[in-house]
Amino acid sequence: MTNRATLRADFDRLALYDHDGWSHNSHYHAELLRHVPRSGLALDIGCGAGAFARLLATRVDRVLGLDLSPEMVRLARARSRAYPSVQYAVADILACDFPPATFDTIASIATLHHMPLASILNRVAAWLAPGGVFIALDLFEADGARDTLLSALAVPTSALHRVARTGRVRELAAEQAAWAAHGIHDRYLTVAAARRIAAHVLPGAIVRQHLFWRYSIVWRKPRA
């Protein structure tokens, strides 16, 4: 797990290059959003500049977005002035202690790999109200020939999507450099490992592998 101070500094730097355009994460936002109940209170773990928090606000009553990076939270607040139901705070989710059954939806976009997965999933299970939904998207470590083949297929497909949505084949050089510097600290689970942990902590969770180096978790907490 990356040192929290290092992680904060990385994302304060990356905030300089954040945009609300297409990305490998946003490509799956709509698919995740359809699992969100149409009411209640949502928590967005690692909200970044608030892109998914603003989507959550179109479905639920209130959204709380938390992020370790003050610069990301500053951006999120600036971009969410038209969303009064969304609030943001600078916070380390590993230091938070919400009462049980506080949230009806908990979401996490590309943040789980910065934390011990079993630990955060146990917190999610406690913080969700019965019938509540957890949705997550995260990066994975390739494992075996199948993942290598999928990665090879993803490269040209990603380039086509990026050109169509942004007009650019890749990020600007400075943005690439910032992400590369952050990537030195990142460690990912394989999809199989994530699936094992999710099955143990969140029985019945659906874990799916996606093309653009991502996997998703969808879990509805039992009502009884």
Number of domains making up the chain: 1
Sequential DSSP letters for 155-207: HHHHHHHHHHHHS-SS--HHHHHHHHHHHTT-----HHHHHHHHHHHSTT-EE
Tell me which residue has tokens 């380039």: 159
Report the DSSP pairing between strands 214-220 and 206-210. antiparallel
Residue 6 identity (one-letter amino acid): T
pLDDT one-digit tens code per residue, 43-53: 999 999 999 99
Whole-angstrom Cα distance, residue 15 to residue 6?
Answer: 14
Residue 49 belongs to what domain range? 4-220
> Around 160, how many Cα atoms within 13 Å sit in the side-chain half-sphere?
6
Tens of pLDDT, residue by residue over 43-88, are: 999 999 999 999 999 999 999 999 999 999 999 999 999 999 999 9
CATH number at residue 71: 3.40.50.150
The per-residue pLDDT for 156 is 86
- The DSSP element (H or E) to which 221 belongs, if any, is none
The pLDDT of residue 105 is 98
Give the CA distances from residue 63 to residues 8, 56, 157, in Å, rounded to whole numbers and listed in that order. 22, 7, 33
Left (φ > 0), alpha (ψ -120 to 50) or beta: where does 133 sit?
beta
Map tokens 């009411």 to a residue: 39
**pLDDT < 70 stretches in the chain:** 1, 169-170
| Cross-sheet strand order for the sheet of 86-90 | 86-90, 62-67, 41-45, 103-109, 128-139, 214-220, 206-210
pTM of the full structure: 0.94
